[in-house]
Amino acid sequence: MKSLGIGFIVVTLALLAFSTYQALFVAPTEQTMGDVQRIFYYHVPSAWVAGVCFFVNFVASIVYLAKRSLNADALAAASAEVGVVFCTIVLITGPIWARPVWGIWWTWDARLTTTLVLWLIYVSYLVLRRFAAGSQTQVLAAALGIFGFVDVPIVYMSIRWFRTQHPSPVMGGGANSGLDPAMLHAFLWNLLAFTCVGIVLIAARFRLQKMENQLEAKHTELALHGGSR
Amino acid sequence: MSPSAVTVATLLKDLRIEWRSKDAINSMLFFSLLVVVIFSFAFNPNAEESRRIAGGLVWVAFLFAAVVALNQTWARELGNQVLDAYRVSPAPANALFLAKVLGNFLFVVVLELLMAPLFVVFYQLRSVGPMWQLVIVALLGTWALVVNGTFFAALSIRTRSREIMLPLILFPISIPALLAMVDATTMILTGGGTPDFWLKMLLVYDVVFTLVCLLLFESVLNAE
């Protein structure tokens, strides 16, 4: 099992190196945006990984409430943390790209705002995990995890409506409509590499959480029986 | 006792406590009055401007004020281990939850009724659109804030810094509801379009989150 994990990490690192090479040197330079467009190869895969992480968090939260398995809770904790990290990357790389291309760092457009609200929701999830006391943490966190994920489509719908009602700054992008094959190639490699990075990070955090749980259990045991042994 | 009897009994108990102490309503009233005054200094709007910003102002004031009442919802039950008594009693958890939601809903609606004239006077408000729609926005919006707020108050009562925890988890989830309330209110006040979409949005939000709350409340109440 352990050698399998190390093997996966090695493969992930190799993939990451190859996809970075693809993104920075092989993919053609975009005509109007120039080199700054290359941030697309990091921005979109990060968003994908963040989305998958939050979905995993949602499923793990439901499984925890149904089965009360500590493993499900550990997975929920790990995926929320990794999701917030990738969501932060999305929120940082976005403005770096937007400044030269749109001329502004930020606009309250539907997708940007939804991502920000998503980030806020899962940061509040992490805060709750941190502040909740003892063994009830898992239940409280699982409840909030379900609330957070249910909220996402509602947030998106409402903000899309809000922004189509009001005039908004000129939008660039729309890269989905016809991506150059060479760009698509680099993009898919990055998507794969980032997904693997996400898996590695979640697995590592999951292991850590399990160790913490074991440690906690031992502490409790020691506190209960320590004197008699 | 049937579930509805539990709900009614708990609700009446809370209303009686509130009637005698007036803790929640007084602090909410004073708090939202402060918000009205401070916002007026901060923006110094004329009648036209205030009609445009009033939607946001009113709901931010009510949201912040509601947190005051919501924080007291369960804190009140911690003394004398009342909450533990609820947990061992065979009464269904959701009956208790509904009673608390209805209680908070009434408190916040009373607050809104008392504050509405003040807003009109201080900001020289006059609605261009149909007034009765504001009532629907207020009822749906208040339910949206209160149902999630009561649930999250039950979450945050279990955490270390409980008073701070509630807004931290309630506000991010409430953003779409707040957006709907604010934009619908502004639309009605300025007469700029019909708020049909927002009313449907609020209705969906209310139904979805009421269901989620009812599904999860028992687990949260019994969390060990």
Helices B132-156 and B162-190 cross at an angle (nearest 10°) of 170
Q: With beta carbons less than 8 A apart as the criterion, state whether B3 and B92 touch.
A: yes
Q: With beta carbons less than 8 A apart as the criterion, state whether B93 and B218 touch.
A: yes
Q: B45 Cβ partners below 8 Å, 6+ apart? A: B53, B123
The amino acid at A9? I
* Number of domains forming the structure of chain A: 1
Position A132 in a domain: yes
Choose, out of A128, A129, A158, the residue to mutate when testing the contact with B (most B CBs < 10 Å): A158
Looking at every residue in chain B, the average pLDDT score rounds to 87
| Set of chain A residues whose Cβ sits within 8 Å of the Cβ of B216 | 65, 143, 146
Q: How many residues does chain B have?
A: 224
Domain extent at residue A106:
2-167+179-217
The 3-state DSSP class for residue B218 equals: helix
Chain A residue with minimum CA distance to B169: A124
Q: B12 Cβ partners below 8 Å, 6+ apart? A: none
Per residue in B24-45, pLDDT tens? 888 889 988 888 888 888 887 7
- Phi and psi angles of residue A227, each rounded to the nearest 5 degrees, phi first: -65, -35
Chain B residue with minimum CA distance to A155: B176
Strand partners, B159: A132
Test B201 with A157 for CB contact under 8 angstroms: yes
pLDDT exceeds cutoff 80 at B18: yes
Q: A228 Cβ partners below 8 Å, 6+ apart? A: none
Cβ count within 10 A of residue B8: 16
End-to-end CA distance of chain B: 26
Q: With beta carbons less than 8 A apart as the criterion, state whether A53 and A86 touch.
A: yes
* Number of domains forming the structure of chain B: 1
Position A37 in a domain: yes
Place of tokens 């029986």: A225
Among A129, A51, A131, smallest CA distance to A84 is for A51
Per residue in B76-131, pLDDT tens? 888 888 888 888 888 888 999 999 999 999 999 999 999 988 888 888 777 777 78
Q: For residue A180, what are the CA distances in angstroms to A90, A174, A175, A187, B96?
A: 22, 13, 9, 10, 59
Cβ count within 10 A of residue A141: 25
Position A222 in a domain: no
Where on the phi/psi map is residue A106: left (φ > 0), alpha (ψ -120 to 50), or beta?
Answer: beta
Q: What six digits make up the tokens of A182?
A: 């060479």
Domain extent at residue B71:
3-221
Chain B residue with minimum CA distance to A65: B219
Q: For residue A8, what are the CA distances in angstroms to A15, A42, A173, A203?
A: 10, 21, 34, 11
What pLDDT is recorded for position A169? Answer: 43
What pLDDT is recorded for position B144? Answer: 94
Out of A124, A142, A155, the one facing B176 most closely (by C-beta) is: A155
Q: Which residue has the higher pLDDT, A91 or A27?
A: A91
Chain A residue with minimum CA distance to B216: A143
What pLDDT is recorded for position A177? Answer: 52
Q: How many residues does chain A have?
A: 229
C-alpha count within 13 angstroms, C-beta hemisphere, residue A94: 21
Q: Give percent of chain A with pLDDT exceeding 90.
A: 33
| Set of chain B residues whose Cβ sits within 8 Å of the Cβ of A163 | none
Q: What is the b/e burial string over A77-95, where b = at least 16 CB atoms within 10 angstroms of the residue's CB?
A: bbbbbbbbbbbebbbebbe
Position A223 in a domain: no
The 3-state DSSP class for residue A135 equals: helix
Place of tokens 């109007």: A32
What pLDDT is recorded for position A178? Answer: 59
Test A133 with B219 for CB contact under 8 angstroms: no
Test B160 with A133 for CB contact under 8 angstroms: yes
This model of the complex carries an ipTM of 0.85
Test A155 with B148 for CB contact under 8 angstroms: no
Q: What is the 3-state secondary structure (H, E, C) of chain A?
A: CHHHHHHHHHHHHHHHHHHHHHHHHHCCCECCCEHHHHHHHHHHHHHHHHHHHHHHHHHHHHHHHHHCCHHHHHHHHHHHHHHHHHHHHHHHHHHHHHHHHHCCCCCCCHHHHHHHHHHHHHHHHHHHHHHECHHHHHHHHHHHHHHHHHHHHHHHHHHHHHHHHCCCCCCCCCCCCCCCHHHHHHHHHHHHHHHHHHHHHHHHHHHHHHHHHHHHHHHHHHHHHHHHC
The 3-state DSSP class for residue B89 equals: coil
Test B173 with A121 for CB contact under 8 angstroms: yes
Which pLDDT band, with edges at 50, 70 and 90, does A74 fall under?
very high
pLDDT exceeds cutoff 80 at A195: yes
The amino acid at B114? L
The 3-state DSSP class for residue B108 equals: helix
Position A204 in a domain: yes
Test B165 with A127 for CB contact under 8 angstroms: yes
Out of A120, A140, A147, the one facing B212 most closely (by C-beta) is: A147
Q: Which residue has the higher pLDDT, B141 or A111?
A: B141
Q: For residue A187, give the CATH number of its domain.
A: 1.20.120
pLDDT exceeds cutoff 70 at A172: no
Q: Nearest 5 degrees, angle CA B221-CA B141-CA A123?
A: 55
Looking at every residue in chain A, the average pLDDT score rounds to 84
Which pLDDT band, with edges at 50, 70 and 90, does A228 fall under?
low
pLDDT exceeds cutoff 80 at A109: no
The 3-state DSSP class for residue A132 equals: strand
Q: Which residue has the higher pLDDT, B46 or B86?
A: B86
Position A196 in a domain: yes
Per residue in A8-57, pLDDT tens? 888 889 888 888 888 888 877 777 777 778 888 888 889 899 999 999 99
